[in-house]
Structures are given as C-alpha cells and as structure tokens.
Amino acid sequence: MSAHVGADGSGAATPVVHVVLRPLATPMPLGFLGQAVASWAFACLQLSWLSTGETHTVALGVLVFTVPLQAVAAVLGFLGRDPVAATGTGLLAGGWAVVAAASLMAPSGAMSPGLGVLAVGIAATLLLPTIAALSRLAAAAVFVLSAARFAVLGVAEIPRSQSWLHVDGWVGLVLSATSVYAAAAFELEAATGRVWLPVGRTGSRPDDPLGEPGVRPSL
C-alpha cells in the first residue's frame, strides 16, 4: 500500500491511496504439473511401454494424484478471479477423473465407446479455456494439446482402434513436456518477478500488475 497527497477543486489537501493486491499465487503450475504426470503415465500404457496389467495402477495414481491437484488449482483460480485457470484446470480434473474411473472399472486394456464419447465431449469443452488463454500462449498450448489428447482418445475408443490409441500416446508425450515447460515458466516468473522462460504473454507487460488475474489497483 502507498499513499500521497493531492489537491481537490477547493485547494484542500486530499489523501489518495493506491492499493495493489495479489491475494493468491497463480494456480497454473500446480494444475499443469498434475497434467504432465497423468498424460505421461497414460501415454506409457498407450504406447505399450507398460503392460496392460498396470492399467489399474496408473488409473488409481491419476485419480489420487492428478485429479485432486487440478481440483485445488481450479478452486484457487476462482478465488483469485482467474477464469482461465479456474475453468481450464477444473475441466481437466473432471476429464482425468472420468478416464481414471473408467479404466479402474473396466478389465485391464479394455476399450470403451462410451468413454470415447465422453472424451470427445471433454475435448470440445476445453476449447473455451484455450481461446480465453490466448493472452498467455504457454497456457493456451497446454489446453489445446489437452483438447487434442481427449479428442484423439475418443477417436481411438469409439471404434476400438489400437492405431489411434498409439497416436494419442504420442500426443500425450508432447502434452506432458509442454505442461512441464508451462509450469516451470509460470512458477519461475511468479517466484522471482522475472521472465526466465517465455510464456507468450500478449496484451500486457510481465511487470504490469494488471497482467495477472487477482491483482487489482484501487484509487
């Protein structure tokens, strides 16, 4: 908080107070790191780097690790008035919960057209935070790749195509690497106040207090 003295129309001294608040840290790194782990783990299954017998272990791990982290990130996004983080990570939490629960309930390695239909629907909903995140291209890249990952999963599951499942695995590896990059970029910038890794921010300077949600000047 800072203050200085101005003058009103009558010439009397009037205090003017400028308040800048950053009530919460950005939840993006938390959600994106959870995304990286889930995408990497399921990619290992889809590319047959793990046996199908490990499906339930991977699904359980995603359900107890990734889903809670992304749910927390979504709540913090709403509290910090960041609609991109809130909506995007919330949708990812729900999406991975669906995939993990379906994988736990089905026999290891089984494919499900029902899961495919849900995955396509999840992919469609992720287009909204993708568009909204265009002022932070690193975040937009994570969301658009997430949408692609769920869309390709749907294409694989509906006709039970192993070939498309392998494609989804490779998309998942790219998504995992992109998520780690974006998480590191936002984390380092928030912690140090400097841009260490480009995030593709447009429309405001990185040092502009209006450049991030949750920062509100008041006169």
The per-residue pLDDT for range 146-167, each reduced to its tens digit, is: 999 999 999 999 999 999 999 9
Q: Are 190 and 42 in contact (CB under 8 A)?
A: no
Give, in degrees to the nearest 5, the angle at Cα 183 between 127 and 59.
Answer: 70
Q: Does residue 11 sit within a domain?
A: no
The CATH number covering residue 62 comes to: 1.25.40.600
Task: Give the domain range for residue 109.
Answer: 28-203
Using CA atoms, how far apart are residues 166 and 172, in angstroms rounded to an integer?
A: 10
**3-state SS record for the chain:** CEEEEEECCCCCEEEEEEEEECCCCCCHHHHHHHHHHHHHHHHHHHCCCCCHHHHHHHHHHHHHCHHHHHHHHHHHHHHCCCHHHHHHHHHHHHHHHHHHHHHHHCCCCCCCHHHHHHHHHHHHHCHHHHHHCCCEHHHHHHHHHHHHHHHHHHHHHCCCCHHHHHHHHHHHHHHHHHHHHHHHHHHHHHHHCCCCCCCCECCCCCCCHHHCCCCEEEC
Q: Does residue 218 sit within a domain?
A: no
pLDDT at 209: 37
For tokens 């629907």, what's the residue? 121
Tell me whether strands 216-218 and 13-21 are parallel, antiparallel or unpaired.
Answer: antiparallel
Q: Does residue 210 sit within a domain?
A: no
Q: Does residue 183 sit within a domain?
A: yes
Using CA atoms, how far apart are residues 164 and 161, in angstroms rounded to an integer?
A: 6
Q: Does residue 6 sit within a domain?
A: no
pLDDT at 16: 64
pLDDT at 208: 40
pLDDT at 131: 95
The count of domains in the chain is: 1
Q: Does residue 13 sit within a domain?
A: no
Using CA atoms, how far apart are residues 143 and 84, in angstroms rounded to an integer?
A: 10
Question: Per-block average pLDDT, block size 10, for the chain (219 residues)?
Answer: 49 59 80 98 96 96 97 94 93 97 91 95 96 92 97 96 96 98 92 86 52 45
